[in-house]
Structure 1
């Protein structure tokens, strides 16, 4: 119909012209872009309001990057260091050029990655199902507070999820796409070894597409290129381990040993119960039940559309089981990818009615029911979720770090460190933060829980945690932590203190 005839277009009987115009204008708004803008703005405001800092693993990535820039091999084998991740170390090296403020830049980049992750979940769910399903999936993700909390603490899991989800979205849009999918999966493989399974399966998927489509010589050349890209993660990881420690499989052995020391290993019989507990913790029961219903509905309405989310769920849960069998740390973060797919299927329960024809009565009933469920979910969350816990956890991370910086920056504390010896902390948890603040090397900050440091901590500067909440997160973290490591040692005198920490010295 020509634009001039729009004003005279007949209005359906029983529907006011003004209401029809209002609905058409509302429907014509770019809701995904608006939602992304709102999320980005809220994330930036949160970054400013809650000045959090990187977690234990991420601080070590920056420390190792700084050591490399200073011409030293990274200290992978000091007391209870985390597993190294090559891409995180490279990023940490770049951030260390910014000086002490590089830690806040890392948090900003990770929180920005969370926004990109939400966009990737939307794109994956939109392509698999419908745009409204995509919006619902991204919305569910924003309400699962574990994920933005990981971003606020600069966990590498968020960038890893970005690489995996966007690779899946691009591949779903154009099967056997290659190119950008290879790049994203290779980056994921440099962050977490679980991605090696994904990229290995993608190699088989790409290689199978070449059968009968080219000559034998062409197939071999393409398969060789595919294999070279797929091998980037394992090869780089092994090379870094070998160069730094002399042991090509140091990361695997170190991770396994540390998991056993911290009590994070599970026998095969315990893996199913741990998996169930982690799923319920990350996604919450209502989302899981909605996901089961959404999967059944999607399988009935459009079985081909469930393939990509189902494959990612199966690979993610299968990897979790393999991690448990291998004796590595069994933690909830290894289930983040399948948890995202649970959210996608839950979104089908809420917005899957958009896959039906408009003239079907079941579409209208489903839409109304979904709307009521959303209202119920909002009311349920508002009345039962304690946002003060989230607020206090974020404030604790920022306030305790500021207190640590203020204490260690005092001239008399710096003078005592220079005159009397190394800084010691109750456990390993405060070691990377203190090293980053002080610009110290591996021998400049020790953990009193480390049996190998017993003789060196008899003199020097001793840091103690005095705030109860900080004590449970920075000193008494694991069952093996000894409470006496946070009690001032004999012969030390107090030098400085604040609300979170105190410093004692003995020369």
Structure 2
């Protein structure tokens, strides 16, 4: 609350005004951040989850590099590699099996950093209360903490982008740390290349004045260009060294998107965008964001620029991804969804930009409380907390069940005899199995892979999913998945089973 409101004017109102001053002096943002950090750590302990499909491959590829092998980027339905994630995976693979849980911990810590970043951005653009409201909205959009609990790289990527924007907004043309953050973002997701390209133009435009000699200007531009090129350069070089194709990531991603049915025509992009925004932000936040944007544009148009630009870049990138024939999934709209939260937060805290004592300020504050009450009611009645709990529980329990199966003496003995590859129904369980069994790309395969069917038929160790929930998430995930790939082949004998999986051997 502004000091003008906290001050006590005269006699009878002094006690209440003094109480308000003491309330305003409490470091609410720091307390909220500490509470979030504690809650996140408690959640990490209560829900021992494990990395998702893509992140496990980052660990595997990092381990391959440390062992002196080229990473298996071109395996069956492997995800797109992300250089910084692979480097991080290499470091964590030194910890052995426990590296996967450390990856989850670091990603959940990144979520706390992201919340602090969205607070900083919204506070700098508008007011501290808007910042707190934006961070609060983010914490209640459960898709985001769920991504963190599954170690998706999107969370650290968002943290890099948001903090870069917040720091740049607090001091325009800052350079330095902003370049570092954007370069890291560009090594996690190629969408950041558009952001860093625009930042390059923004920084170069600051050198056009008469006070900058041509030689000095060119030196600075060359430095900016170097920073901007880090992401694309390392990505292309890594692809070329490993696969011989400098455009491997682009070609592989578009091919995999088409195979999995994730491509959309340009005509379908607007409807997909609408659905994804509603799923990620939820209807009340989306509608509040529209109202908040219009109000901010009317009351403080210059403050809208940074979150508005990030929203435009994010949605523009989503459209370009659709045009390029790549996977059209909701995670490509995470950056603009964060900006939706910032504008929605302006509805809740934007009244603090008005002068104290204004009637409209008081009315707005009361209306904001009503909106918060509605949001709490909506969340309590519409959000299925049981689904959130069951999803996290299933992910953790199923992974531990797979570890238990692969550690059974009969299964380990069969793998050691090298009678054939360890096989899983499709691609989904391949990285988990490889990580647990310390297997190579040729030693752990998918039965859905046409190139591996003859090998699997001759012998080996076959893993089957026996739990219904895991079956729908790990064996029958795409329209092209054949249910028979989760049925034992002739000659295979059951040697072990757990609550989620069974192992059959033909040796």
TM-score by length of 2: 0.97
Match of 1:3 in 2: none
Cα offset for 1:12? 3.1
Deviation track 1:383-404 (CA, whole Å, cap 9, x = no partner) reads: 3322010000000010000000
Distance 1:455 1:174 in 2: 62
Deviation track 1:200-256 (CA, whole Å, cap 9, x = no partner) reads: 110000001100231111111111111011000000000000000011100000001
Match of 2:435 in 1: 436
Match of 1:337 in 2: 335
Match of 1:255 in 2: 253
Residue 133 to residue 10, structure 1, CA distance change in 2 (3 Å): closer
Distance 1:430 1:174 in 2: 47
Deviation track 1:105-149 (CA, whole Å, cap 9, x = no partner) reads: 000000000000000000000000000000000000000000000
Gaps of 5+ in 2: 1-6
Cα offset for 1:10? 7.3
Distance 1:490 1:288 in 2: 54
1:42-441 map, 5 Å: 42-212=39-209, 213-419=211-417, 420-441=419-440
Deviation track 1:323-365 (CA, whole Å, cap 9, x = no partner) reads: 0000000000000000000000000011100010011011011
Distance 2:85 2:8 in 1: 61
Match of 1:485 in 2: 485
Match of 1:464 in 2: 464
Distance 1:368 1:244 in 2: 60
Match of 1:496 in 2: 496
Distance 1:45 1:369 in 2: 34
Gaps of 5+ in 1: 1-8
Distance 1:78 1:319 in 2: 27
Distance 1:107 1:65 in 2: 16
- Select which of 27, 32, 35 maps to 2:32: 35
Distance 1:59 1:10 in 2: 59
Distance 2:38 2:469 in 1: 30
Cα offset for 1:382? 1.6
Contact 2:114/2:159 (8 A) holds in 1? yes
SS of the residue 2:428 aligns to: helix
Residue 403 to residue 10, structure 1, CA distance change in 2 (3 Å): closer
Distance 1:332 1:384 in 2: 20
Match of 1:4 in 2: none
Cα offset for 1:21? 3.0
Deviation track 1:79-113 (CA, whole Å, cap 9, x = no partner) reads: 00000000000000000000100000000000000
Distance 1:52 1:103 in 2: 9
Cα offset for 1:380? 2.3
Distance 2:236 2:297 in 1: 41
Distance 1:272 1:11 in 2: 54
Contact 2:8/2:17 (8 A) holds in 1? no
Match of 2:4 in 1: none
Deviation track 1:128-179 (CA, whole Å, cap 9, x = no partner) reads: 0000000000000000000000000000000000110000001000111100
Residue 10 to residue 77, structure 1, CA distance change in 2 (3 Å): closer
SS of the residue 2:225 aligns to: helix
SS of the residue 1:443 aligns to: coil
SS of the residue 1:231 aligns to: helix
Residue 13 to residue 369, structure 1, CA distance change in 2 (3 Å): farther
Cα offset for 1:11? 6.2
Contact 2:77/2:427 (8 A) holds in 1? yes
Contact 2:8/2:18 (8 A) holds in 1? no
TM-score by length of 1: 0.97
Deviates more, 1:369-378 or 1:69-78: 369-378
Distance 2:270 2:14 in 1: 57
